Amino acid sequence: MWIDHTEGDARGLSLCDEALEIRAESPGFGGAPGRAYTVWIVLAALHKTRTRWAIALALWPLLAVAVATQNYVYKTGFRLHVTWLDQLRYPAVEYLFWALAAPLIYELALRWGRKIAILACWALALDIVHALYRASLHSLVYPPTMVPWSELVKYYAIGNLFGDLWLFATIAALAQMVQLYLRYEAREREWSAGRLQALEAQLHPHFLFNALNSIATLMHEDVDAADEMMTKLATLLRRTLNQDGAYEIPLREELEILEIYLDIQRTRFQDRLTTKVDADHAALEAMVPRLILQPLVENAVRHGISRRTGPGRIEVRAWLAGGQLKMTVLNDGAGWSERGTPGGLGLANTRARLAQHFEDRYRFALREGGERGAVAEVEIPFRR
């Protein structure tokens, strides 16, 4: 029977960088990307210097061609005699400047943060550079003129001032918003990882207490079997504690650890317990939270097998279906009961870990399994 008792700027940049590294493997992102995850992907891309330059330089010819084509179609519709190449000159020259300037403005905004005075000085310097650039290429965009080059510089500096300041402020604000968002997400990831580690840490003393209690009971009945259980328990603890802090492991390793635990229980119950583990080959490389199956098997032993007077059976299955990894733990123990109040550590911990790790992209259920048995079902997104 199953009973279900169920900081500063430097720190901010560091957190953003950390978020970029761990997000793909962090809890809660194992399934299909949702809207929030897609937004994060776009913003995280902007945070990378190479990606910013690549985006800016890729958009330059696309926007230039699009604007040139629009102007050409518009003017020819009014029977104006223009060529497409003439319409391309201005957007090609102007957008090239901003393709080169935008990533630099982004970097300045990240470096100087909310120091408005410094950013304002940079914005004015950008306006002057823009004027020098446009004056130098004036003859490429417009017909030759007799206006001195110095006058052209003054003309462009004054004429583009407010537009340059507005674009500078827009890019700087975007950089600040992306930085704040990634900083927030990184801190959320830190909190989530700490919560998951705390939940996992609950399992070790809980499991160890139950295992030692079983060994103490067996000492009065079969000293050799109790000694064998102690040796296997030491092996199991070495496997569970030697994971270099990894929260997720392949299902293959999870089942290897589970097999050691089942071996301990077979030693304890001897002929009273039969176990079977069946996993599809394709499912073995799926990543799962470490020790996600052991509490389910332990619950099957405590509230199912140990309450039977005759032989009992525990079956563990894992398979893939529709992009999901499905796992079940069945026992034919003392019968099924829907009564019981949530709050016990083993199953409550499993629920909490699944909810923390997968948010709303998992399913965990307990149901009747056959005439006298019970089944625990876990369904999570498949991810290698």
Domain ranges of the chain: 33-184
pLDDT-wise least confident of 90-94, 262-266, 286-290, 374-378: 262-266
- For the stretch 20-70, pLDDT in tens is 443 434 444 333 334 455 565 666 666 788 888 998 999 999 999 999 999
206 contact partners, CB below 8 Å, separation of at least 6: 345, 346, 349
pTM of full prediction above 0.85? no
Residue 183, pLDDT score: 75
Q: Rounded to an integer, what distance in angstroms lies between the CA atom of residue 89 and that of residue 160?
A: 18
Residue 16, pLDDT score: 46
> ∠ at Cα 133 (132, 137), nearest 5°?
115
Cα dihedral angle (49, 53, 58, 62), rounded to 10 degrees? 120
* Both tokens assigned to 341: 């109040």
Q: Rounded to an integer, what distance in angstroms lies between the CA atom of residue 368 and that of residue 371?
A: 8
pLDDT at 277 over 70: yes
Residue 41, pLDDT score: 65
pLDDT at 157 over 90: yes
Q: At what angle do helices 251-269 and 223-241 cross, to 10 degrees?
A: 170
pLDDT at 219 over 50: yes
Q: Are 222 and 55 in contact (CB under 8 A)?
A: no
Over pLDDT 70: what percentage of the chain?
76
86-106: average pLDDT: 93
Positive or negative torsion for Cα 178, 179, 182, 185: negative
Q: Are 259 and 277 in contact (CB under 8 A)?
A: yes
pLDDT-wise least confident of 20-24, 258-262, 288-292: 20-24
Q: With left for phi above 0 and alpha for psi between -120 and 50, is residue 343 left, alpha or beta?
A: left
322-330: average pLDDT: 94
Looking at every residue in the chain, the average pLDDT score rounds to: 80
Q: Rounded to an integer, what distance in angstroms lies between the CA atom of residue 384 and that of residue 382?
A: 7
Helices and strands, counts by H and E, the chain:
12, 7
